Structures are given as structure tokens and as C-alpha cells.
A and B are shown apart, each in its own frame.
Chain A
């Protein structure tokens, strides 16, 4: 569904932004360039541009996420769009209006972009198929599938600190099986030419046939998986999976896969440590690392705003196909 319906200008973006699988390096670079410009803007005292004046962006969140929603909301407002936030309950689907009805109803209010977050994989794709207007759908996280803007902010952060992605060795540590961010990151890292992408974790947290499905290398031994890594991306551990069937205890998980100073030392000397937040200190990451010199966890947040401004401008601003 990423393909434009009609022939478009060669550098036009797809109409919808549903994921990073199959998205070209040219498109990703276009977003990153735009985001780099916005990154300068948001550091100035007057943070507003009138790029999306008169345009409407609806944030439709079926699953709550203060961080992502605030980031999209601020991004729209900085570009002078009219931004409306809707927190819809996905469980209302049992009776009466379905979530797709909600999408269609909002579409009838003629927004230029619908930013959708949903606990089930594939819902932005369904929403995009159901739309009849030229409204763009932007995926703000669908189930355990993709979270493309979150992944691009990481790519932007890596580029800022390390230059081109090309040739980098990236280790993604933790619960890749349930991580939408990891899937999007992996697609983008491949497209941008990363030399090696490793998934590190116990078998219970690595998705089935990950090597074949995602083109990664799988490591169950953290020390081996971190050896020589240029970038370490820590994934957030959902605490309910601990002492469930995936991991016996926090203690055992931290001992086997937690990122402490000793493990960071296995990686490259100028390694970059990233985490999408919110962090579970002492579960997946030690405070000495989270707050240490390699960590770029707070700059990630600023870059997130810039990426969302770029995506909104390129899609809701009428530059997409």
C-alpha cells in the first residue's frame, strides 16, 4: 500500500506512511534532510513555521502513548496546522461503532493527515484502504508491526553522532519479538546500508525465523552480540513478560542481557547507546550506562519532534503523491 496510485514526481513521497519496509533510501533521505532543517528550527526561540497553515492533522490514538502523541501534536502545531487529538477506545468495537467507522467519520471532517496508533498490527493499512479522500495515513505504531517515525528518529540520531549509516554494525538488544520499533529500525538500517544488524536476546524474545524474515544475525550470548558494535539499541522490556513465560526474573534477565559498563566495553570505543524510553533501569540498562557518556537517550526525543515535523510537512503539506 506504499505505492502511489498514480504516477508522481520522482521524488514525491508515498501518499501514506505506513511503515519502512520497502521504503527507498531516497525517501528516507528526503525525510532526514527535512528533519535536519526542522531540528535547527526547534532550537530557535521562535519555533513556529507556517508550512501547514490551514491544514488539519488528526491524531487518532486507540492505544494511549503520551510521548508519541505529544510529539506528533507539537510537530503539527510548530508547523501551524490545526491539530486535533482523539483518544478512542479500541474496545468500543464490541458494540456499535467500529474503529473503522471512527476513521471514516473523521475522514468526513476532511483532515489532511490521520495519525493512527493502534494496539493491533496492520490497522493503518486497513484505514488507508478504507479512505476515499486524499487524506494521508501516518502510522504512529501498530501492534507489534511497525513504528516508522520512531525508527527514523533513531536513524537521524545515529547519523548526527556517527555520520552515514553505511558500514555500521548495530546490535539491537532485548524483546525484538514484540517490538514494532525494532522492525522499522531493521528495515531502515538495511535500506541505509548498515553492514550488520544483530538481534540479541533469549529465544523467547527473538521472533520466529528472524534471520530469514528480517535479514539479521541472532545472538543469544550478549557478550558475543555486542562485540565490536558501533551502535547498541536497547529495547524496552515489558515487565509483564518477566516472570511470565518469556523470562524467569528481572535478576536473571539483567545478568544475561542487561547493559552495564562491562558489556559496553565489548563494543566499539565510540559506541552509541540508544533506548526508545521509558527505560527500566536495572532491568535492561544500568543507570551508569543510561546516564553515561555514550548515551544519547534525550537527544533522541528532540529528533523525534523534527522527524514528525518532516513527515507531516511532506505528507500533509501536499508534497506526497
Chain B
């Protein structure tokens, strides 16, 4: 029994510790001066930015990492007691979903409105984009002439039979790409496109974007649909084989004569019940500032959203391109339809 009591006492003590950290009156909470960030992004560059923000403002950044879907579930479950101030995702669709579920709130910030173009933020200011990446076609430089490429739709032609690679439909970037097609052309056309891609796939989807590029370079297929920043990562990899893979492909921005290449964003919004709302706004403002945007652009090969910041040299070397200016909220609104279509056409 003695041991039971000791064990129980230990448990109580450990609870106590938690309590003493958590039991704060609102005034004390202010004094802590922190911002709680739920984020899907976990790059070293982000860590750098958070540290920079802490240094500049004295506001402590607490981070919870998980996938956006899991974070949204967590915030839903926590409800009003949620400690989250800021939600960061790597996809606009998820931000829209968070808004639809009433997890975010609109904020007034002139700085954000100046820094971030209109089509890259929510119309009610529930969320703001922080970085862009384009979902492009890459092709094997030695076998494919870029002139043969034109649009995403073109890849469903017979000429590309068994020559196309793209990752699983579990992947959010694919879901958003299909969602954009639903928004532009309707469900029927989108289904036809997805079916066409499945027919032209060189293999069943597997691996990540980098794996698709490697397989193209190895000759398993001629083209792949991937995000731009992964090419940047390959080219700057420590692994010489990855650099070779990155060098073996050319980048083609599709649909340039019409709606433009599909883009997706990382973005952030203020949580509905944010206990440190002001700090949260400061935090997002900081991330949209030229200094922070430059870090995003240079170390993670993403396109800055702040027009005053140039893309990194590497990205500039790929040329400028016309981007799809579809309001990003469409990606969230059509996400579920996209997932269902993928299942129906057998896109694994």
C-alpha cells in the first residue's frame, strides 16, 4: 500500500507541476507574453524566423507541429479553451476548411493588406498567404522537348501513355490541383482529367515529389507533376545523386496561354479563441515583412508573396510565369469533391 501511496503522490506532484504552469490569471497570461503557433510547417528556415521574431519582439513563440488536418481536429476538439493563437498550413484548402469550421477570425491589419496581394488572402481576412509554390510539369531534359508540353490537360493525351508520374491522391497538393480544375471547368471535366492521368500513369502512385523526379531522370517516365520548391531542394541537396536528379529535369509552367499554372500557398490565420490575439497578428505581420519573406525565399526555394521581395536567384533562373489567380478559397470548397473523384477513377 505504501508504494501505491508514493506512486500516487508522485502522480499528484507531476500534476501539480502542470497546474502551476497552467494556472494563470488573465493578467499573468499577458505577462508571459507569448504566441502559440499550431503549424504544419517545420522547416529549419521557420525555426530561424521564429527565433528572429522572439529576439525582435520579446514574444515567446510556442510551437505545436502536426499535419494541418490533425491540427484542425485538435482545435475543433479544444473549442473555446484552445490555446492556439496562430494556425499555419502548407495549403490554402486547409485554411479555408479551418475558416469554414469557425476556427479562425478576421483581423484588421493594414500591414498585411499592403504586404499580401488580394487573391492570396481571405476576403474576410481570416487567413493570409505567406509563401507560394507552383505545381508544374517537369520533363526529362534528354528525351522531351518542352515544345511538346502545353497544359495539365494535355498530359491526358495518348501521346503521354505510360509516361506520366504523379504522387498519391492522399497528397494535398494533388487534391488542390484537382479542386482548382473543378472550380474552373466543373466536376465532369475534372473527373475526365483525373481518369486520363490515371490511364497515362507510368506506375501506381508512390513516394513523394522528389521520388517522382528521380524516376523521370531514371527513365521510368518522361514527365511528372511536382511542386517547384522540391526541385530547389534537389538541386541544393547534400546528396550528389539528388543533385544529378534535379539537374536532369527541366521545369515547364503549364497553361500559360490560358488560366496560368496552378499555385498553392503556405498561409496563416488567427485562431478564433486566440488568447494572445495581438501577439498573433504581430507574428503574421512579421512573417509577411520583407526581411522574413527573404528568408522564406532564399532558404526554402518558395516564391515570396510580398511583391517587394524578389524570388531567389535559382527561382528567377526558371523564368517568370503566369499564375492561376483563382481565389484560393475555391481549393478548400472543392477539396472533398476532389478526394471523391480520385477514389472513383482509381487514383491511389
A and B held together in a complex: no
